[in-house]
Homo-oligomer: A and B are copies of this chain.
């Protein structure tokens, strides 16, 4: 793929839906938080914009764990990219998979042989789960990045209880009733807490032979604490809150192996039919397209204006980019990507067509400012850091809910998700208990 960087100009069909004409053409790869906020902030500008994604929807990944635990439907947290950008007449959407970049010919190359010429190229392909070189773990221990992941986890969780209800083998019963979550970051904490609640509230009265409340939920973290991005006081609260709803938290424990049916950690073999991975991520495809040297996590090192050094006219942002600030790389958070996307768009808006056509405009320096951080633990329980405030418990949980409803794209999604949350809070029921 890297060889593409210096290939002869491609000859495939131009996939840009609208004629670009005299305007400068900004091409954005990826419609996650970074790419989409960039496209939205370029709406109505003098430049033509094309957003390319291999999915037709923007996925609100922070709520994906609720799909995995049967609380929400995929459609509730997915907004069609085309609909989101429908009113921006200068922005096109293309459903397509990128195969490489022809830097000499200034064209994005698609797997179907098409190509999209660009004046400015912005890569925002995001990240995926990383198994520290043990890629064969992925089948047994799916991460939580895509709707397919969430459906797989949901089906396995629900199927485990179904099979537990009819099995007569005590060892199998024990494995089916044991759920292991690897990784003590926000995703791991949210998954472990929600699985415990699914068993304790939603499924509690639905079975005859088993008691779902007896399910073991084990959260394994290699480091010394949960939620390392949060203040110590909130870390301890999260630990207590998880323990209270029945999660076994194991800190300082390294996962040595994951096999179909078992997790081996700290010398112990835990028989389990359900493993969820939330331990590490790496950047998605992108660096290889440019022939750029990625860092240890596959990220493309970028300059303070998010440009890729040595690659004229090309920018990278979000989880795909590595940008150090105050001596440390910026974290892989939706809000980092969204701020970078919006910042880059504002700076590009200010540029003339001529400046973008000529390449390498002067954009200034991006600086990230945290707007707060939050993780939910369970019913009525969350942590929330915003400015000097550290909140926990019910208030943090309400705030978590409001913020996530606010951040969801699409008014209908907001209504639907809010309605389902209220309903679930009142009844404990979950509307999307499908095994498929």
> Which A residues are closer than 8 A to B by beta carbons?
13-15, 17-18, 55-57, 72-76, 78, 80, 82-83, 86-87, 92-96, 114, 147-148, 158-159, 162-163, 165-166, 168, 205-209, 410, 412-413, 415-416, 419-420, 423, 427, 429, 431-436
Contact = CB atoms under 8 A, between A and B. Distances in A.
A431 B55 contact: no
A13 B413 contact: no
A82 B435 CA distance: 12
Contact of A86 (B94, B147, B162, B206): B206
Nearest to A169: B13
Contacts of A419: 415-416, 419
A275 to B, nearest CB: 21
A92 B205 contact: no
Contacts of A14: 168
Given A18-B209, A56-B435, A114-B166, A159 B75 contact: no
A429 B412 contact: yes
Contact of A432 (B73, B114, B206, B209): B73
Contacts of A412: 420, 423, 427, 429, 431
Given A86-B206, A416-B431, 19 more contacts: A13-B168, A15-B166, A17-B165, A57-B433, A73-B73, A73-B74, A74-B434, A76-B431, A80-B433, A82-B207, A92-B208, A93-B165, A95-B162, A96-B166, A147-B436, A412-B423, A412-B427, A412-B431, A416-B420
**Most B CB within 10 A of own CB, among A56, A78, A166:** A166
A80 B205 CA distance: 13
Contact of A208 (B17, B72, B95): B17
How many copies of the chain does the oligomer comprise? 2
B56 A158 contact: yes
Contacts of A165: 17, 93-94
Contact of A207 (B17, B55, B57, B114): B17
A166 B165 CA distance: 51
19 contacts: A13-B168, A14-B168, A15-B166, A17-B209, A18-B209, A55-B435, A56-B433, A56-B435, A73-B74, A73-B75, A73-B76, A78-B433, A80-B206, A87-B205, A114-B166, A410-B431, A412-B427, A412-B429, A416-B420
A412 to B, nearest CB: 5
Contact of A74 (B15, B413, B429, B436): B436
Contacts of A114: 166
Given A13-B168, A206-B83, A432-B75, A56 B162 contact: yes
A434 B206 contact: no
**Most B CB within 10 A of own CB, among A87, A148, A419:** A419
A207 B74 CA distance: 23
B57 A434 contact: yes
Contacts of A55: 435
Contacts of A423: 412, 415
